[in-house]
Amino acid sequence: MPERRTVALVTLGCARNEVDSEELAGRLEADGWQLVEDAEEADVAVVNTCGFVEAAKKDSVDALLEANDLKGHGRTQAVVAVGCMAERYGKELAEALPEADGVLGFDDYADISDRLQTILNGGIHAAHTPRDRRKLLPISPAERQESAAEVALPGHGPLDLPEGVAPASGPRAPLRRRLDGSPVASVKLASGCDRRCSFCAIPSFRGSFISRRPSDVLNETRWLAEQGVKEIMLVSENNTSYGKDLGDIRLLESLLPELADVDGIERVRVSYLQPAEMRPGLIDVLTSTPKVAPYFDLSFQHSAPGVLRAMRRFGDTDRFLELLDTIRSKAPDAGVRSNFIVGFPGESEADLAELERFLNGARLDAIGVFGYSDEEGTEAATYDNKLDEDVVAERLAHISRLAEELVSQRAEERLGETVRVLVESVDPEEGVYGRGAHQAPETDGQVLLTSGAGLRVGRMVEAKVVGTEGVDLVAEPLRGTLVGGPGGSEEAGR
């Protein structure tokens, strides 16, 4: 019997990429590939790249080169690029990075097994010529669902699998294979984006916005719960637009309670919300539905009106603060995070001061700050009034210091609060760590529990915040409050 083909998936970038990698893993495993964790143990290393900003693109290239270094020193015979950078640049990336044995776009995902086998056999699969994927679907959102089956939509793997492709398990299993044992998993709610922010190239290579059907999202969540997942995070480029192409812009409000009712799921989290699209009904559901985290990942980007208009966005400091006041009037402990761009073309000292005014009043739990840099193919790259790189760097350092101070202050405000912590790691030496409802994976800090008695990964426990370490919290488990997880309830802290 021939030795089984092995493949490793290296995922960079956002949670949406993680979902895409697990779909690729599902396709490959269904076709007989053995999935391994380490690239050095794989015949083929597949690097799922990020193409969002220059730093992410550099990380993607570095990962490809690192994987290429394994060739000739172990089992690895080929290195293949997939993901956003591969889709965005195609032939250009293949020519600039000959170390990659293949550069595959989204259209190759359905045939990923054949593509990798061709490359492994020494064949060549020509890299694609990039195109504007917004043109693949009708302009009218109402007309998109009928065309969706003809367009490659990573992370939208069918639940009615092609003939001969075995599901991971059970009748509801999606075309997906989990790549880790984390009690948290992302679920793709939609793909693409219809907004035209002047600094962002994502719509051009991710395409127009298209929602997944609620039944697909529900069935995938049920399957994940069967795999031991306790928290799902709904991801897309813009979750507030969910349902607009299905005839109901308020579809998220009705879907969230259904997801929260799935057996085994202890927490539902919604990421990436557009402030300009927030509506009272959605705020109500996010702040009042049991098991739905009162968590608001709001894409503010700036708060000075002039800068926002140049970004092709809406709002201002006072309107944003009013939105936060509305949220906290319904859920005082709600978690809020956001990202900001400083040094945008034309940003004045007064604009920067306006951003500082907003940050000082917003009480955000987590803040990401980025210095502006041109992204090719974007409107902002054509603007004339660019700031000197030194000015951008200075403003980035200044706002980053302020953000670090403010999120530490916000963490201190939570002293004495009771937080519901999902345990994610238990180590005899390093301790027990998890996250509260106001903390998303990877980005928003974590909670160190002072006692690990009776706690295992996947458990949900209530704990009192007794200390802080920057953005992180230190919390003491409350007796008798352990809920969820395998094996029924146990008493925490005994």
Pick out the residues of the known binding site for [4Fe-4S] cluster: 14, 50, 84, 193, 197, 200
3-state secondary structure of 69: coil
Whether the CB-CB separation of 39 and 70 falls below 8 Å is answered with yes
Strand segments (E) across 41-101: 44-49, 78-83
Whether the CB-CB separation of 47 and 63 falls below 8 Å is answered with yes
Whether the CB-CB separation of 301 and 340 falls below 8 Å is answered with yes
Q: Per residue in 257-267, is it b (16+ CB within 10 Å) or e — as a string? A: eebbebebbbb
Phi, psi of 232 (to 5 degrees): -110, 145
Binding positions are 14, 50, 84, 193, 197, 200
* Residue positions counted in the chain: 494
Integer Cα distance of 339 and 325 in angstroms: 19
Q: Which of 328, 298, 333 is nearest to 438 (CA)?
A: 333
Integer Cα distance of 141 and 207 in angstroms: 12
Partners of residue 231 on adjacent β-strands: 184, 267
Torsion from C-alpha of 41, 43, 49, 54, nearest 10 degrees: 80
Three-class DSSP labels, 206-267: HCCCEECCHHHHHHHHHHHHHCCCCEEEEECCCHHHCCCCCCCCCHHHHHHHHHHCCCCCCE
Whether the CB-CB separation of 218 and 268 falls below 8 Å is answered with no
3-state secondary structure of 34: strand
> What does the block give as tokens for 459?
């458990």
Q: Which residues contact 319 (CB under 8 A, 6 or more apart)?
A: none
